[in-house]
């Protein structure tokens, strides 16, 4: 039976390592034109005795090869299946993939946190335009044209005369008083964007402030200090220490700046706080009589306090940032770092 005996073929088949090899063996030996098939075709030429013997022999060989093929096929298919299962095995202990959901900007969260604290202290929200008249931004706040106080806040003027990008949220003081039409108390906060021609690590040309204004009978510096101290402790934690320094703003008298202990050195003195242990957090004061009058209130009947606080500064402190500009560069690698910041909605 040619160069290989059928036993050798059966042995080779049982060693085959791929299904392709098996197919090859099948075609070559038991296929339509396979070796054994061809030999069987030649049987009719043999004398009857020989034909019987040879026929039995060939049948036996054919059966043996077919059986070997079937058996080996089974083994190889089983193995392939096992390998596939092994490769596709799911590791249920792997951490899940986080869906790429959006989140609020850290500055938005800080602004909302400040609003939360002040709303709980009884303030309500008030708003004013970002393109503001010079009257509301300056004159009504007791900052006359050409007054040197305007130099404190380098302004962006717009093409339409008499309008500026508001340099602070203080114009909302006047707008809120006008809206209250003499009713008491006035107790509002006005968060929003403000603009000044500044640009360095701690100043950006567009920034956010929260203004606060309280007008009522008998409002004093004690109300101012008490309210602001509670607010700052709620925001920055009860262990923060505070102090007030006298200052100057045209729209408050007296004027006070509030400092908090430096977060970097806890008051020991370092480069951030210029070795003083304190950092300024807001400007405030009792509302100037002229400002009350411009808002439609009689300074002989009522008094008030006001404050203005930079939101970015609070964010820098809460998040331990040393460069304010990071907050405005929209770099997702930076912003994603705030994803799991707890406590801020
Ligand atoms: N408007 C002042 C500023 O931007 C802050 C301030 C507000 C001070 C209210 C006193 C009262 O610097």
Over its C-alpha atoms, the chain yields an Rg (Å, rounded) of 43
pLDDT tens digits, one per residue of 68-108? 999 999 999 999 999 999 888 888 899 988 787 788 999 99
- CA atoms of 123 and 194, how far apart (whole Å): 21
Do 200 and 318 share a structural domain?
yes
Q: What order do you get walking across the sheet with 278-287 strand by strand?
A: 124-125, 186-195, 206-216, 303-310, 278-287, 252-261, 242-249
- CA atoms of 29 and 36, how far apart (whole Å): 6
* Residues contacting 23, CB < 8 A, separation 6+: none
Dihedral sign, Cα of residue 121, residue 125, residue 131, residue 137:
negative
In a domain, 204, yes or no: yes
Do 302 and 176 share a structural domain?
yes
**pLDDT at residue 144, rounded to an integer:** 85
Residue written as token pair 């503001």: 132
In a domain, 328, yes or no: yes
- Collapsing DSSP states into helix, strand and coil, what is residue 253? strand
Ligand 1 centre to CA of 307 (Å) is 6
**pLDDT at residue 343, rounded to an integer:** 45
Nearest to 9 by CA among 45, 35, 32, 48: 35
Q: Confidence class of residue 271 from pLDDT cuts 50, 70 and 90?
A: confident
In a domain, 344, yes or no: no
340 pLDDT higher than 90: no
Do 80 and 146 share a structural domain?
no
> Which residue did the predictor score with more confidence, 202 or 65?
65
Q: Which of these ranges, 20-34, 137-151, 190-204, has the smallest mean pLDDT?
A: 137-151
| Number of residues in the chain | 345
Nearest to 228 by CA among 286, 168, 164: 286
Of the three residues 53, 87, 121, the one that is the final residue of a domain is 87
Q: Confidence class of residue 149 from pLDDT cuts 50, 70 and 90?
A: low
Do 132 and 75 share a structural domain?
no
In a domain, 92, yes or no: no
Ligand 1, closest atom to CA 283? Answer: 8
* Residue range(s) defining the domain that contains residue 142: 106-338
Tokens of 179: 């809206």
- How much of the chain exceeds pLDDT 90, in percent? 70
Do 155 and 24 share a structural domain?
no
> Which residue did the predictor score with more confidence, 123 or 264?
123
In a domain, 165, yes or no: yes
In a domain, 94, yes or no: no
Tokens of 270: 């370092």
Nearest to 132 by CA among 89, 184, 93, 190: 190
Do 134 and 73 share a structural domain?
no
- CA atoms of 286 and 297, how far apart (whole Å): 14
Ligand 1 centre to CA of 90 (Å) is 60
Of the three residues 56, 87, 118, the one that is the final residue of a domain is 87
Verify whether ligand 1 is closer than 6 Å to residue 192 (CB atom). Answer: no
Do 292 and 143 share a structural domain?
yes
Do 259 and 231 share a structural domain?
yes
**pLDDT at residue 145, rounded to an integer:** 82
1 pLDDT higher than 50: no
Which of 228, 308, 311 for mutating ligand 1's site (highest number of atoms within 8 Å of CB)? 308
Do 273 and 224 share a structural domain?
yes
CATH code at position 290: 3.30.930.10
- CA atoms of 342 and 68, how far apart (whole Å): 68
Q: What's the chain's average pLDDT?
A: 91
In a domain, 272, yes or no: yes
Which of 168, 169, 172, 244 for mutating ligand 1's site (highest number of atoms within 8 Å of CB)? 168
The DSSP bridge partners found for residue 245 are: 257
> Which residue did the predictor score with more confidence, 99 or 135?
135
**pLDDT at residue 277, rounded to an integer:** 93
How many CA atoms, within 13 angstroms, populate the side-chain half-sphere of residue 306? Answer: 30
- CA atoms of 194 and 208, how far apart (whole Å): 6
Burial status of residue 12 (CB atoms within 10 A of its CB: 0-12, 13-18, 19 or more):
middle
pLDDT tens digits, one per residue of 179-222? 999 999 999 999 999 999 888 877 889 999 999 999 999 999 99
Q: How many folded domains does the chain comprise?
A: 2
Ligand 1 centre to CA of 33 (Å) is 101
330 pLDDT higher than 80: yes
- For the chain, the straight-line distance linking the first and the last C-alpha, in angstroms and rounded, comes to 86
- CA atoms of 249 and 331, how far apart (whole Å): 36
In a domain, 257, yes or no: yes
Do 271 and 186 share a structural domain?
yes
Do 110 and 15 share a structural domain?
no
Q: Confidence class of residue 174 from pLDDT cuts 50, 70 and 90?
A: very high
- CA atoms of 333 and 338, how far apart (whole Å): 10
**pLDDT at residue 170, rounded to an integer:** 98
Verify whether ligand 1 is closer than 6 Å to residue 29 (CB atom). Answer: no
Q: Which backbone phi and psi does 279 adopt, to 5 degrees?
A: -125, 140
Ligand 1 centre to CA of 56 (Å) is 112
Do 178 and 62 share a structural domain?
no
């Amino acid at each position: 039976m040619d160069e290989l005996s059928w036993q050798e073929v059966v042995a080779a088949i049982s060693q085959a390592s791929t299904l392709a090899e098996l197919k090859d063996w099948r075609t070559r030996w038991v296929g339509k034109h396979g070796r054994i098939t061809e030999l069987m075709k030649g049987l009719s030429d043999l004398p009857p005795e020989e034909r019987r013997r040879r026929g039995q022999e060939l049948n036996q060989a054919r059966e043996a090869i077919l059986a070997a093929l079937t058996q080996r096929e089974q083994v190889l298919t089983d193995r392939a299946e096992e390998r596939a299962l092994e490769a596709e095995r799911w590791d249920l202990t792997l951490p899940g993939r986080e869906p790429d959901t959006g989140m609020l900007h850290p500055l938005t969260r800080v602004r909302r946190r400040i609003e939360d604290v002040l709303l709980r202290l009884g303030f309500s929200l008030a708003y004013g335009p970002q393109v503001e008249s010079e009257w509301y931004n300056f004159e009504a706040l007791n900052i006359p044209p050409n007054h040197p106080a305007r130099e404190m806040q380098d302004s962006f003027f717009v093409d339409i005369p008499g309008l500026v990008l508001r340099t602070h949220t203080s114009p909302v003081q006047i707008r809120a008083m006008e809206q209250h039409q003499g009713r008491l108390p006035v107790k509002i906060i006005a968060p929003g964007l403000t603009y000044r021609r500044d640009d360095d690590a701690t100043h950006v040309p567009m920034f956010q402030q929260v203004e606060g204004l309280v007008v009522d009978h008998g409002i004093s510096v004690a109300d101012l200090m008490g309210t602001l101290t509670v607010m700052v402790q709620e925001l920055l934690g009860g262990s923060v220490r505070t102090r007030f320094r006298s200052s100057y703003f045209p729209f408050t008298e007296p004027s006070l700046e509030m400092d908090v202990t430096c977060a970097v050195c806890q008051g020991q003195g370092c480069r951030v706080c210029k070795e003083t242990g304190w950092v300024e957090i807001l400007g405030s004061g009792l509302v100037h009589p002229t400002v009350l009058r411009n808002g439609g209130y009689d300074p002989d009947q009522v008094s008030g306090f006001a404050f203005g606080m930079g939101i970015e500064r609070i964010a820098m402190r809460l998040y331990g940032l040393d460069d304010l500009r990071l907050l405005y560069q929209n770099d997702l690698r930076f912003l994603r770092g705030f994803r799991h910041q707890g406590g801020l909605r």
